[in-house]
Structure 1
């Protein structure tokens, strides 16, 4: 009797996992070596519009359906602590003169 209950539990857990696995993935991480754009932007500095440093590009987040960059993951270092921040791609522009990404907002 216990064995039958255990099989049902496992079976329903498998079904739940199958339904989770059937959902299409929307975003994917692209790391260095997987794309020319990622290689170019890897470790690229990210600054505010005023030129204050935010961090450096760690990797890109791409929309799988449209194959467009949606976010840039930035590693921000303060002393020994490293935090990661996702910045929307559409809020960045590339400053080619200084080879950096600039984060801007509208006020």
Structure 2
């Protein structure tokens, strides 16, 4: 049985809280309050679906973090910061990526 901060009860509470945030979106400082669960899109242009641009091993960190196989990297699409010199413009602003299910994300991880 899992105890502590990862108990099923606590994880269930965290899932409910996440859905609350999605129904009146305040996940970022813009707090646009749209209902992403009903397909509404806020300033970021994202709904409640999960879009991933790319994933895989990453070797650009310190050796202690990378190890032999690389650290895992998952690039989600969409961003609300709108930085003028964004290094990931295609991912962040053009939202290039594919929709994934939660189960597919688990397999990636």
TM-score by length of 1: 0.24
Whichever of the two has the greater Rg, that structure is 1
Instruction: Please identify which structure carries the higher strand content.
Output: 1
Structure with greater helix percent? 2
